[in-house]
Amino acid sequence: DQFEIAPGIRGLVMMVFHLPSYGVVFKIIKDEFAESKKITREHVIDRYKLVKMSDRVGRMADTHEYVNFRFPLSRVCPALLEELQDTCASSVELTDDELIIKHLYIEKKLTPLNLYLQQETDPDKLHNAIDDLGTCIKQIAMANIFPGDMLHKNFGITKHGRVIFYDYDEICWMDERNFRSIPKSDDPYALDTLSVAPNDVFPEQFEHFIVGKRPFKEMLKSLHGDLMTPEYWRDAQKEVSQGTIHNFTPYPGSRRFRRPEHSGQ
């Protein structure tokens, strides 16, 4: 098989490709970002280093960073080569028989959560995926990291149904954000005049963009409605600042071995 563009929604910051028969993806920082991304290449590299050096609590994909990574040119499909030259030209070098990527990250391949929610038909598996999405966000916050861009396309799901976050360009420490309530007003234009600082976050808006379809929105809200309140995030900030450490297991409680009960003699 050939290297090709990875399935899923194209990233605004990273260009991602894979070899279908191989269990990893290759991620390259694009030369230019979408206008909505007010960040630099150096910032993206710094965010990936932050994750690498942090406790990922089993909820953030580990990355391996490489320079001058070589691929056999004959194994690169034309569409991928064109995309690389269009979006990542400064990171790409071609020889007669090789494609050289000057800087890239390699991650374990996961099914993008947005594709999983589109394709899965089992109601129980869909429920578990949405529930684990909320749990994933909460556990990352307890590890002192605010995920930033929490669109469901930025999460993947393992073959065991575990949700993992893998989009790092907007992450930051929890104390770098100010979690605010949306002011209550009868004026429909009140939000247009609301003063917002760069580090302000309004959790009440999360329900509108974490997942798209209404049934999933309602499910997430019923399972993890506290995520949509500033109080939850402020409490999380407080716990982090106090050094509270939570014990997270990489499996659901239902799969935990039970200790045998011994009757007293």
Catalytic residues: 62
Cα(265)–Cα(248) distance, integer angstroms = 35
- Give CB contacts under 8 A, 24+ apart, made by 8-11: 8/112, 8/114, 8/115, 8/153, 9/112, 9/114, 9/153, 11/167
Half-sphere exposure (Cβ direction) of 74: Cα atoms closer than 13 Å: 1
**DSSP designation for 25:** E
- Which three-class secondary structure state does DSSP give residue 5? strand
Element (H, E) at 29: strand 24-29
Dig out the tokens for 79 from the structure. Answer: 């569409």
**Strand pairing partners for 164?**
156
